[in-house]
């Protein structure tokens, strides 16, 4: 696992179990994706009881977007080419100005691909910065003009 991936996971919530599972998923995608995986993102949110819910693990390469849904308990994997394949991005934010995060910061993006596919990514607290990076690096540049 890249040092930057381990640092990202540790900065958020990673237990040894989470890190081990992420490594298993990285190993799988490195075997099927024709490109090097450049970034990862954990879609998560804060539940009403204050606990963090980890939903899915997203992986990104130059030309592909990958999702491991319910990654802690399932082996359910997607891979989608992203080059000019994003039709729409819906970005919602709360207590976050794209500059500074707080304990109350929240960020949500839903994208729609040219294929009949879409995805949702969620972030809370400092993880909003990681999602902002994904939006600006992978989703916005791949918006297709029709």
- Confidence (pLDDT) at 63: 92
Are the C-beta atoms of 95 and 106 separated by less than 8 Å?
Answer: yes
Are the C-beta atoms of 144 and 29 separated by less than 8 Å? no
pLDDT at 103: 93
CATH assignment of 3-142? 2.30.29.30
- pTM here is 0.85
pLDDT of residue 76: 95
- How many angstroms separate the Cα of 34 from the Cα of each of 2, 10, 64, 137? 18, 27, 9, 19
Can you give the pLDDT at residue 86?
Answer: 81
* Average pLDDT, 10 consecutive residues per value, the chain (146 residues): 93 88 96 96 94 94 94 93 84 93 94 78 94 92 78
pLDDT the model gives residue 14: 77
Identify which of 61, 1, 63 has the alpha carbon closest to the alpha carbon of residue 26.
Answer: 1
**Structure confidence at residue 82 (pLDDT):** 83
Q: Give the pLDDT of residue 133.
A: 95
């Amino acid at each position: 696992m890249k040092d930057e991936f381990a640092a990202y996971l540790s900065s958020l919530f990673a237990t040894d179990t989470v890190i081990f599972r992420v490594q298993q998923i990285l190993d799988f995608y490195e075997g099927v994706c024709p490109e090097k995986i450049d970034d990862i993102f954990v879609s998560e949110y804060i539940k009403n009881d204050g606990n963090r819910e980890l939903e899915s693990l997203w992986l990104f390469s130059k030309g592909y977007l990958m999702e491991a849904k319910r990654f802690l308990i399932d082996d359910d994997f997607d891979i989608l080419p992203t080059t000019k394949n994003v039709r729409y991005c819906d970005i919602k934010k709360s207590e976050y100005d794209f500059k500074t995060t707080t304990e109350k910061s929240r960020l949500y993006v839903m994208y729609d691909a040219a294929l009949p596919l879409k995805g949702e990514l969620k972030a809370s607290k400092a993880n909003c910065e990681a999602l902002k990076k994904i939006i600006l690096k992978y989703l916005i540049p791949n918006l297709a003009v029709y």
